[in-house]
């Protein structure tokens, strides 16, 4: 068990204890919500780990890095950024996927672009966003988010 | 309404899982020598995720019950300046639900006359700098990656918020 995992579990346990002392019924309700969300995310967890296993098992690193490694340049970043914008998976699960890509020789910029577009841009939820906030605001937010995602990705590639 | 949508999502995920499983079994029966590396890689990632995800879910659950939804609208409705930006980031980063949950809140904020820049910053913080999300990022991508992305995202999200506000003002003038 690594350091981060210990910290996160520590925070969860301490918060849970404090909550339990304060209000038993509310805490049980929280745990029920937590259990339900966990069950809901479970199929996606299995999908992601199988994809990672197949990815790392079948695609040799030089294949992956040819498409999304350093030498793929801005085109690779734009491509993966676009994929991230179209995909609809929980942000929590984008990080292990990103880590496996990094392990396989994808560049830092590509991985950063993927995470940022995946979280900030919602193509599937765009109709809801337009309905709630208006066409102008929704399109501006998603469009400019894509631009800043690419920009942040490039800066991260230079620094890291 | 919400329950129906969740059930649909669950069914969709299970169907995708079934397809992926079939693909995996087919690939592994053609290339049996890959079995070991595929299983060991998947297992390693599974362990890493299972060590943190239940804890993250507990934290999310606690917040969902303890932090009332109207706290955002109440506090962000009138805030402006640096304080507004700061509040937008903090309230957005609280561990609560997927992005589409935030749209109705943002709509309520718009109606209340909150600054557009703050609404955009709030939505962006909600999308990509949530506290439990950062913990998972730390676990998988390391402290350098996590902090650099966090800082750059905050800077650019603020710039984006101010820019969109200007654009909307010019267009509506």
Chain segment A110-133, per-residue pLDDT in tens:
999 999 999 999 888 898 899 999
* Alpha-carbon distance values, B134 to A33, B48, B67, B99, B125 (Å): 21, 15, 19, 15, 11
Question: Closest to B140 (Cβ–Cβ): which among A99, A128, A132?
Answer: A99
Between positions 11 and 50 of B, the ones with CB within 8 A of A are: 13-14, 16-17, 20-21, 23-24, 27, 31, 34, 37-39, 41-42, 45-46, 48-49
- Best residue of B136, B147, B162, B163 to probe chain A, by most A CBs closer than 10 Å: B136
Mean model confidence pLDDT for chain A: 90
Q: Give the chain B residue nearest A125 (alpha carbons).
A: B100
Domain boundaries, chain B: 68-172
Beta carbons of A108 and B145 less than 8 Å apart: yes
Q: In 3D, which of B39, B118, B65, B156 has the Cα closest to residue A16?
A: B65
The pLDDT of residue B146: 96
Q: Taking CB atoms and an 8 Å cutoff, what residues of chain B touch A104?
A: none
Q: How confident is the model at residue B1 (pLDDT cuts 50, 70, 90)?
A: very low
Chain segment B41-51, per-residue pLDDT in tens:
899 989 988 99
Question: If you compute the radius of gyration of chain B from its CA atoms, what whole number of angstroms results?
Answer: 21
**Between A152 and B111, whose confidence is greater?**
A152
Chain segment B59-78, per-residue pLDDT in tens:
889 988 888 777 888 888 87
The pLDDT of residue A1: 58
A138 with B119: CB under 8 angstroms?
no
Q: Taking CB atoms and an 8 Å cutoff, what residues of chain A touch B171?
A: 136
B21 CA to centre of own chain: 27
Res B122 pLDDT > 90: yes
Greatest mean pLDDT among A64-68, A155-159, B80-84 lies in: A155-159
- DSSP line for chain B: -HHHHHHHHHHHHHHHHHHHHHHHHHHHHH-GGGHHHHHHHHHHHHHHHHHHHHHHHHHHHHHHHHS-THHHHHHHTT--HHHHHHHHHHHHHSS---HHHHHHHHHHHHHHT--HHHHHHHHHHHHH--HHHHHHHHHHH-HHHHHHHHHHHHHHHHHHHHHHHHHHHHHH-
A–B interface: beta-carbon pairs under 8 A: 226
């Amino acid at each position: 068990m690594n350091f981060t995992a210990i910290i996160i579990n520590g925070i969860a346990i301490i918060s849970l204890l404090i909550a339990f002392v304060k209000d038993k019924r509310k805490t049980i309700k929280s745990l029920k919500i937590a259990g339900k969300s966990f069950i809901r995310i479970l199929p996606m967890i299995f999908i992601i780990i199988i994809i990672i296993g197949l990815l790392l098992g079948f695609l040799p690193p030089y294949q992956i890095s040819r498409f999304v490694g350093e030498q793929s340049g801005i085109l690779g970043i734009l491509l993966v950024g676009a994929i991230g914008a179209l995909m609809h998976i929980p942000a929590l699960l984008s990080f292990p996927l990103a880590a496996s890509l990094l392990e396989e020789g994808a560049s830092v910029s590509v991985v950063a672009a993927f995470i940022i577009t995946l979280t900030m841009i919602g193509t599937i939820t765009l109709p809801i966003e337009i309905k709630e906030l208006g066409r102008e605001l929704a399109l501006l937010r998603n469009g400019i988010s894509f631009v800043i995602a690419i920009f942040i990705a490039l800066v991260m590639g230079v620094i890291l | 309404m919400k329950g129906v949508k969740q059930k649909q999502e669950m069914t969709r995920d299970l169907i995708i899982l079934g397809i992926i499983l079939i693909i995996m079994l087919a690939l592994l029966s053609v290339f049996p020598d890959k079995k070991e590396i595929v299983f060991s890689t998947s297992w390693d990632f599974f362990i890493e995720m299972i060590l943190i995800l239940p804890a993250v879910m507990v934290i999310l659950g606690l917040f969902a019950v303890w932090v009332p939804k109207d706290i955002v609208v109440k506090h962000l409705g009138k805030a402006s300046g640096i304080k507004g930006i700061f509040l937008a980031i903090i309230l957005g980063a609280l561990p609560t639900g997927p992005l589409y949950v935030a749209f109705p809140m943002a709509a309520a904020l718009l109606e209340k006359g909150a600054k557009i820049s703050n609404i955009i910053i709030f939505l962006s913080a909600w999308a990509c700098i949530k506290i439990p999300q950062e913990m998972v990022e730390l676990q998988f991508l390391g402290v350098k990656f996590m902090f650099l992305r966090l800082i750059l995202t905050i800077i650019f999200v603020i710039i984006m918020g101010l820019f969109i506000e200007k654009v909307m003002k010019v267009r509506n003038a």
